[in-house]
Amino acid sequence: MAYYPRKRARSIVARVRNWGSSEEVKLLGFAGYKVGMLHVIKTEDNPNSPFYGQEVAKAVTVIETPPLLVLGVRTYESTPYGLRTLCEVWAENLPKDLGRVFTVPKKESYHKEQLERMRSLEERTSEVRVIVSTQPRLAGIHKKRPEVFEIKVGGEPSKALEYAMGLLGKEVRINDIFKEGDYADVISVTKGKGFQGVIKRFGVKELLRWHKHRKGSRRIGSVGPTKPAIMFTTPFPGQLGFHQRTEYNKRIVKIGDVSGKDEVNPAGGWPHYGLVRSMYVLIEGSVPGPAKRLVKLRHPVRPRRESREEPKIVYVSTKPITG
């Protein structure tokens, strides 16, 4: 029931409905491109595990995280109907690749006018967000069109606004927001599998081969009661995959940079991706979506109370996990 309605996501870029809150003044999220999966040998740091202190093998997902470029700052005020946009300020020298997404403002006077207006409305500000864009040209994804989205700034609105204005026009790196051992919520759009039947879509048992399937065996036997209406939970064929999904509290095992020491690129490159060319993170477990899909990382809205040691990786395999 948690996954209804099973229909295609609105966009291939997942949207974040809740950024959570934080007393610390910092960005509450980041984004990167999914590369693939491999395994690492690490020292088990969970004190409740029977393998505590021993070396164990863990499957991890590689996400390439080139720096995000802060394009603008947007402020919001609280109303009885939710948040309402107050004002926004854009950086002066924006990259040409943004012309592939929207019309870039060129007037310098527009920047000065909006800056003065934002300062005059500072008392009404209840939330501050930065408008960022990805830089796929710095990654190994072979893509030109960047993604543009918002990230909330934690802390008090006045301090958050001052922090955001200091980032305007600059780059933000993954290690400015997360560190090794942190937990993060992963938000992405899953692999699309198109229109599928009830056997694959809901796991319905196939009808017996020797009787009761005059009109087909890979179908449901009965739709159930039809009055007052057919139940919406009745399995029917339809869209499978390409759904937005959120996975909570995924642990960041490692944050690395290929320019320093290349530990993640296999010989010949990653299948369906290529080579990792910038910073990357290793996240324990799997992540929704295929290779090259944009994955958003968010500070956990359901944080764990436990405190664990910093992860200690003994060995990183360069052989991708396939299948």
DSSP conformation letters of 200-217: HHH-PPPPPSSSS-TT-S
CA–CA dist 97, 148 (Å, integer): 11
- CA separation, residue 295 to residues 15, 32, 258, 287, 291 (Å): 10, 5, 19, 8, 10
Q: How confident is the model at residue 323 (pLDDT cuts 50, 70, 90)?
A: low
Q: How confident is the model at residue 103 (pLDDT cuts 50, 70, 90)?
A: confident
Q: What is the pLDDT of residues 57-93, one digit of tens each?
A: 999 999 999 999 999 999 999 999 999 999 889 888 8
C-alpha 32, offset from chain centre: 7
User: Can you give the pLDDT at residue 260?
Assistant: 73
Q: How confident is the model at residue 102 (pLDDT cuts 50, 70, 90)?
A: confident
Is residue 107 predicted with pLDDT exceeding 70? no
Q: What is the pLDDT of residues 156-181, one digit of tens each?
A: 999 999 999 999 999 999 999 999 99
Q: Mean pLDDT: which of 32-36, 115-119, 256-260 is highest? A: 32-36
Q: What is the DSSP letter of 27?
A: B
Q: Which tokens is 49 given?
A: 């595990």
Q: How confident is the model at residue 109 (pLDDT cuts 50, 70, 90)?
A: low
Kindly report the number of other CB atoms within 10 A of residue 304's CB atom.
11
Arithmetic mean of pLDDT, 96-122: 78
Q: What is the pLDDT of residues 291-300, one digit of tens each?
A: 999 999 999 9
CB 35 within 8 A of CB 66: no
Kindly report the number of other CB atoms within 10 A of residue 294's CB atom.
22
- CA separation, residue 261 to residues 107, 243, 280 (Å): 43, 36, 11
Is residue 17 predicted with pLDDT exceeding 80? yes
User: Can you give the pLDDT at residue 138?
Assistant: 94
The topology (CATH level 3) of 67-172 is: Ribosomal Protein L3; Chain: B; domain 2, (3.30.1430)
Percent of the chain clearing pLDDT 70 (strictly above): 97
Q: How confident is the model at residue 104 (pLDDT cuts 50, 70, 90)?
A: confident
CA–CA dist 262, 276 (Å, integer): 9
Tell the residue number behind the tokens 């057919």, with chain if given: 230
Is residue 106 predicted with pLDDT exceeding 70? no
Single pTM value for the model: 0.92
Q: Show me where the domains of the chain are located.
A: 1-18+34-65+179-191+242-323, 67-172, 192-207+215-238
Give domain 1-18+34-65+179-191+242-323's CATH number out of 3.40.50.720, 2.40.50.150, 2.40.10.410, 2.40.30.10.
2.40.30.10
CB 233 within 8 A of CB 1: yes
Is residue 261 predicted with pLDDT exceeding 80? no
Is residue 111 predicted with pLDDT exceeding 90? no
Is residue 112 predicted with pLDDT exceeding 80? no
C-alpha 119, offset from chain centre: 32
φ/ψ (deg, to 5) at 42: -135, 160
User: Mean pLDDT in the chain?
Assistant: 91
Percent of the chain clearing pLDDT 90 (strictly above): 68
Q: What is the pLDDT of residues 182-222, one digit of tens each?
A: 999 999 999 999 999 999 999 999 988 777 677 888 999 88
User: Can you give the pLDDT at residue 311?
Assistant: 93
Task: Give the angle subtended at the CA of 138 by the CAs of 136 and 142, to the nearest 5°.
Answer: 55
Same-fold call for 1-18+34-65+179-191+242-323 versus 67-172: no
